[in-house]
Structure 1
Amino acid sequence: MPLQLQKAKNTQGFPYDFFVIHSAKDAEWVNYTLLAKLEGEEGLKGCIADRDFQLGKPILGNITGAIKDSANVLIILTPDLVQSRWCKHEMNEAFHAMVEEGKPVISVLLMDCEVPDELKNITYLDARKYFDWEHLLQHIQQ
């Protein structure tokens, strides 16, 4: 997993360029593919639970804080995410921030799965056969 960068690139003043909602079972892909690209190659500053959540703080507070402190929220859609109770809570918090604050929520369909109802009316990046990194980067850096 890349080391976290000191400063985010977004121009809105958020401490993080993105927060990643993903299943713990997908952590290897998130850590060694997604973060390697976005942080390691592109120099963006991400927030992920395993590395960036404050120890000793309630998980729900860490989730809410991470979404608030991030310019974008990325949701990595996989069967494991859809089944995870914690991921459902994280997604609900992200949807709330999207409606209340206009927070961008970018979904990436990584594997075949049932897309949650809340995401069915939101355009997502279909990365099941080809991952369009440029398209994702374009929207994270807006």
Structure 2
Amino acid sequence: MAGWFRRLLHRPKPSSVERSSSASSSPSSSSAESSGSSPSTSLVRSIRLSPVLAPDISASSSARWAKSYDICICHSEVDLELVEELVSYLEGQPESFRCFLQLRDATPGSAVMTELCDAVQNSHCWVMLITPGFLQDPWCKYQMHQALAEAPMANGRTIPVLKGVDRKDYPRELRNLYYISMALKENSFRQIRDTVVRYLQELCRSSLSSTE
């Protein structure tokens, strides 16, 4: 018992470094306790990440202008009225999308096959309006195959849009791609627009990073 008491009396006192260390740490600990959060949480809250700005796809230096058209609309002639509504919507957006509409933009006297191939090659994105008329039109299927040959990995360039077609009739060639189901026309138009914007922004971002 006496030995235990003597050891307690001769216990070494903390050094000045230890005292200053504990003194300097106590305010932050009490501050964290009073705020109800740990120091690490407070640190996370103090960090402010700067937003990543989307590239300007309308800039004159944008990679967007490397092609004549932003969007090529592949459709059957029986769906022309709906396609004209879609083109009017897209061209009226703030981005002023450049759309290729075959009956409007094809060169008179040119071969159909040549025009379809040129339209695919000179457009960034291709909207496939898949309707019963599309499935029965050999030229629509030809243009679809040309688009897939141009960008076999898709990467957002081919945009299938289903209207009046059962899922089981969805072309096999496009089975690896998600499609837009045109239930509400306005929503579908907006989805098409957003998909094209997303692709063009990624295109411009890749172009900028490659030049740095």
| Range into which the TM-score falls when normalised by the shorter chain | 0.7 to 0.9
Q: Which residue does the alignment assign to 2:28?
A: none
Q: Which residue does the alignment assign to 2:140?
A: 87
In structure 2, runs of 5+ residues without a counterpart are 1-56, 200-212
> Is 1:118 the counterpart of 2:170 in the alignment?
no
Q: Which residue does the alignment assign to 1:134?
A: 190
Q: Which residue does the alignment assign to 1:105?
A: 158
Q: With the length of structure 1 as denominator, give the TM-score of the two structures.
A: 0.84
Q: With the length of structure 2 as denominator, give the TM-score of the two structures.
A: 0.58
Q: Which SS does the other structure have where 1:123 is aligned?
A: coil
Higher mean Cα deviation, 103-112 or 53-62? 103-112
Q: Is the 8 A contact 2:159 2:179 kept in 1?
A: yes
In structure 1, runs of 5+ residues without a counterpart are 1-7
Higher relative contact order (CA 8 A, sep 6+): 1
Q: Is the 8 A contact 1:97 1:103 kept in 2?
A: no
Moved >4 Å (runs of 4+):
100-103
User: Whose Rg is larger?
Assistant: 2
> Is 1:11 the counterpart of 2:63 in the alignment?
yes
Q: Which residue does the alignment assign to 1:37?
A: 89
The structure that is helix-richer by fraction is 2
Superposition CA RMSD, Å: 2.2
**Aligned-partner Cα distance in 2 for 1:133–1:53:** 23
Q: Is the 8 A contact 1:111 1:128 kept in 2?
A: no
